[in-house]
A and B are shown apart, each in its own frame.
Chain A
Amino acid sequence: MNLFRRFAFRRRAEELQEELESHLRMAAADRVVRGESEPSARQAALREFGNVPLVQDITHDSWEWPWLERLLQDFRYTLRQMTRSPGFAATVIGILGLGIAAAAAMFTVVDHELLQPMPYRDPGRLVTIREGSGKDANWGAPWMDIQQWMERSRSFRQIAFSTEMGKQEYLEQTAAAVHVSGQEVTSNLFGMLGVHPILGRAFLPEKPGSATGRNAGTLVLSYAVWQAAFDGSRSVVGRVISVNTTPYTIIGVMPPGFRYPLNPVATREGQVWTALRLGPDDWKNAPYGPQYQVIARLQDSATLRSARSEMAAIQKRVAEGYTDPYARKTLDALTLQRYASFLVNDDLRRALLSLLLSAAVLWLIASLNVMNLLLARGTARQREIAMRGALGASRGRLLQQMIVEGLILSVSAAILGASVAFAAVRLLGHELHQQLPLPAPAAPNLLILLVLLGLTVLSTMLAALWPALFAVRTPIEAALRQDGAQTGSSRRHHRLREVLVTTEIAMSLPLLVACGLLLQTIYALRRVPLGYRTDHIIVANLNVPSFRFAGKDLPQTLYMPLLERVQHLHGVLDAGLINEVPLGHTFNITLGLRLNGKIIHAMLTPVTPGIQRVFRFRMLAGRFFNEQDSPTSQAVVVVNPAFVREYAPDKHNPASVIGTAMWQLHQGQPLHIIGVLDNERQESIADSSQPEVDLCLCQIVPGTMAYPVVTSFMDLAIRTSRPPAQMIPELRDIFGQASAEMRDASITTMGQIVEDSYGSQRLAAHLLEIFGGAALLLCVAGLYGLLGYVVAERTHEVGVRIALGARRGHVLWLVMRDAGAMLLAGTVSGAGMAVASVRLVRGFLYGVSAQNEWTLVCAAVLLIVSGLGAAYLPARTAANINPMEALRIE
């Protein structure tokens, strides 16, 4: 409403008043002329005229926009009321706003990760198939097995598969090549996903394994790569570019948002796809040959269950085809799951759902609390409403007034909630980045926000309208005499508010229990001995453009000179290379070692001798690598106790393995175990050590087994005496001189890496601290508000009691008894809910069981004690009532 219109309304009202005034004056003047005295003439004129305000009102109604003007009046009235009791308005808006924000932010994240459609057509019908089951399931399957699936299965419309192109791909386009993530895919993949290029074409149809070569040397770009490396030029189709020095012809560009496979690496970097070419290794019927990630689309007639049973039968026969007994045993089952559930594992799903539930509960508590506040105020305003009714306000008008009030409160809360939700999603997104396969959303989901806002407005309106509906049915006289409080409907009103507070208490308990469990988890995680030092360590993840060093000895031409230069930097105490620092999650190599007829999976870790001094790894037996270990000296390895347990004849004596020779690095050059490292936390703080085999990087020369894999990823770890911020630019200079692409290496500190590894637990703990704390606060506020109101209402009664000789202690007990009953009822029903619901956070917990009675008891005690504390204030007020004053109020 603009100022002009408001001004126009007021002026018109003033003119009307003046007009009626002039009427009266003229009527009086006429009477004076006829000989009446002036005062009596005025009196008579007024009598003749009738009810001036009524005439004013009726005339008013004949104007345009009467409803709008009334709405404005209500609006101004509400604003005046809000400024008179700003605390009330701020409380309502704040509580509701926070409830909306928490729920909207969590809903957005969960919706994004769990429910968001993937960038494919009908993604619910896409499944992945992997050989093996449970924890031992492979990453995919070898070609010979996939071929049998294709021939025998009837459940799938199509089966496609893919593998990574190499380890690191660089598009040679500009001076510093662009780092991309490349996939070799079967020609039917894009068609099966139902996504077509926006520019150019996809691969030509080609049977996998039939080497027609129609797609040889062709490349499809993702939208991100097209934009980044080619500025979105439409003439890019047909251009020839090099990926790691191999020339490819660009044939198409995929639409924005399309990614395959969906994983964090692929979303961080741009992707390119080439047609998959099977090699000679693929045609050997060996269980441990090249593996491919398999994705298939279910037939319309097939279900997940029917596909599973069909494939289980097929896989049995596939496994029987293996001559290797271990493979026959482990590969006779397979894992078939929806592509969506493969991406978000069950732990993460449960965790997100539990956080979502917590946020929803918080929203409910907030809504209940606001309803309670509004009800209390509505009761307190019965007199005001009755007064307005007595002065002639119609029922409709009173309802309209209440609606306007409810709207102003809830819409303000909605605006606050929406803006906090935006901020929260941004904050959450930053934290969640470590945990989630899809990029975190940048803004809350609009639909969710709207639904929440709608619900909030509805609930507030209900609470705001209640007193008005209630008031229009109450006799005015009774309300004005203020004995309305004694009527039956008021008692019902009061009972409703008690139920609301009890419900709040019951719902807060599970939040507090979950919060307690997560705090214990964080505490337990921080006390896990890591097995290495984490202070004063800088870690750089070198993005090694290995194609630039093709045909060269990578350790000798790149790593060793680089390490040498870094060691001479001012402030560097020790420096070392390792393919992946502990908890680094960059790139780890798993080695399948065949021992005593079974396969042991061990982490293969190439390191330089300096790494032990950087991390202060402890040795249980033997020695670590040193500078005397060289390409020409005896090939040596260091292992860890987890490996010893699997490998050594004497599982409990690490020293027993020292000096034994195991598998060969070169033909005829066995590796000797020279030392045993103490256990360390490798992949996650919550998991104990896995078998590990460390190699000395300088002994790995071209031609050694696994040379390309072992040398192409490297982390540099430095123990420094200077702050990291000073060191980083100098490090970047050294990297840049070695190769332009390495200047952008990601550099962090070991402390940060450890902190990030707490990721989901820390995030969940923080969120639950907020949710639990807010819930507790709301409960306390709700209880305090209700009892404060009750005491104010019963002032007269209490005054009479005291006057008749009731002791103060008795009055105190009277109020505390009410509070105790609500707290007890709330806690008991809350305990049931807590026991049922904390199972959801089980996936997050470490070092503490979900069925931890102590946590439950502590949370209950905290809730009851804070509740009684909140109740004590109104109770003391009641006990201190002066009977004389209380009775005089009447």
Chain B
Amino acid sequence: MIGRHPYRNRVEVLQGTLDMLILKTLQWGPQHGYGIVQALRANSGEMLQVETGSLYPALHRLERQGWVRSEWKQTESKQRARYYRITAAGKKQLAYDLNRWEQLVATIGSIIRSRPGEGEV
């Protein structure tokens, strides 16, 4: 049967947070797609492997939103690569995302730490 086979995102948990992670990575300076993958992996202690199938759509989506801008540049090893740079709007968005992330973590954390009966009167 020919049917729908929508692509299933393999980093589902990170859906929504991937944008934030990319923006955060770009805060330290312009980077290309491969560089972002490497940086995320290094900074997560090899824990986080970002799939290219999520990364590139995310990058292109961010560019469409105007949060990053891209240009073709030479790498140190004289390779031509597409570098992404965070924009002012992107920085604002990052601050907003980080703020929300912290709220979310705090909320979830308080729920996890709470004992039955304690929160409610």
Contacts and interface: CB of A to CB of B under 8 A. Distances in A.
Nearest to A392: B5
Contacts of A22: 32, 34, 79-82
A150 interface: no
A62 B1 contact: no
A389 B77 contact: no
A58 B7 contact: yes
A64 B80 contact: no
A23 B52 contact: yes
Nearest to A64: B64
A277 interface: no
Contacts of A16: 56, 60
Contacts of A848: none
B57 to A, nearest CB: 4
A389 B53 contact: no
Contact of A62 (B2, B34, B64): B64
A19 B2 contact: no
Most A CB atoms within 10 A — which of B1, B2, B5, B33?
Answer: B2
B53 A62 contact: no
Interface string B65-106: 000000000010101111000000000000000000000000
Given A23-B32, A63-B64, A472 B2 contact: yes
B57 A58 contact: yes
B51 A50 contact: yes
A23 B60 contact: no
A51 interface: yes
Interface residues of B, number: 26
Contacts of B113: none
Contacts of B35: 26
A61 interface: yes
Contact of A26 (B1, B34, B51): B34
B82 to A, nearest CB: 5
A67 to B, nearest CB: 15
Contacts of B77: 26, 29
Nearest to B5: A392
A16 B38 CA distance: 19
Dominant SS at the A interface? helix
Interface stretch (A393-401, A516-524, A608-616, A674-682): A393-401
A2 to B, nearest CB: 21
B4 interface: yes
A136 interface: no
Given A26-B79, A63-B60, A476 B1 contact: yes
B4 A19 contact: no
Given A22-B81, A64-B64, A476-B1, A55 B56 contact: yes
Contacts of A428: none
B52 A49 contact: yes
Contacts of B82: 15, 18-19, 22
A55 B52 CA distance: 7
A54 B6 CA distance: 11
Given A26-B34, A50-B51, A20 B2 contact: no
B80 to A, nearest CB: 6
A395 B75 CA distance: 43
A63 to B, nearest CB: 6
B3 interface: yes
Contacts of A471: 2
A51 B79 CA distance: 23
Contacts of B80: 18, 22
A61 B9 CA distance: 14
B57 A61 contact: yes
Nearest to B36: A23
A62 B61 contact: yes
A16 B7 CA distance: 19
A671 B38 CA distance: 125
Given A59-B57, A63-B64, A394-B3, 14 more contacts: A19-B82, A20-B52, A20-B56, A23-B32, A23-B52, A25-B79, A26-B77, A55-B52, A58-B53, A58-B56, A64-B64, A394-B5, A395-B2, A395-B4
Interface of B: 1-5, 7, 32-35, 38, 51-53, 56-58, 60-61, 64, 75, 77, 79-82
23 contacts: A19-B33, A19-B81, A19-B82, A23-B34, A26-B34, A26-B77, A26-B81, A29-B77, A30-B38, A49-B52, A50-B51, A54-B7, A55-B52, A55-B53, A58-B56, A59-B57, A61-B57, A62-B58, A62-B60, A63-B60, A395-B3, A398-B2, A471-B2
